[in-house]
Amino acid sequence: MRLYLIDGLRLNDYKKLKDYLDEHLESSPLGEIYWIELDKQILTPIQKKHKDCHPHVFALMLEETSLSSEFLVRIKKKIKCDCMGCATKEQRNWLLEYVDDIFEKLDIDF
Summarised one tens digit per residue, pLDDT across range 42-96 is 999 999 999 999 999 999 999 999 999 999 999 988 888 999 999 999 999 999 9
Confidence (pLDDT) at 75: 94
Residue 12 lies in a domain: yes
Residue 103 confidence (pLDDT): 97
The Cα 88–Cα 21 span in angstroms is: 24
pLDDT score at 8: 95
| Mean pLDDT (the chain, rounded) | 94
Range of the domain at 23: 3-105
Q: Considering the domain boundaries, does residue 32 fall inside one?
A: yes
Domain-embedded: residue 77: yes
Residue 110 forms part of a structural domain: no
Q: Taking a C-beta distance cutoff of 8 angstroms, is the pair 47, 53 a contact?
A: yes
Question: How many structural domains comprise the chain?
Answer: 1
* Closest to 88 (Cα-Cα) out of 46, 28, 50: 46
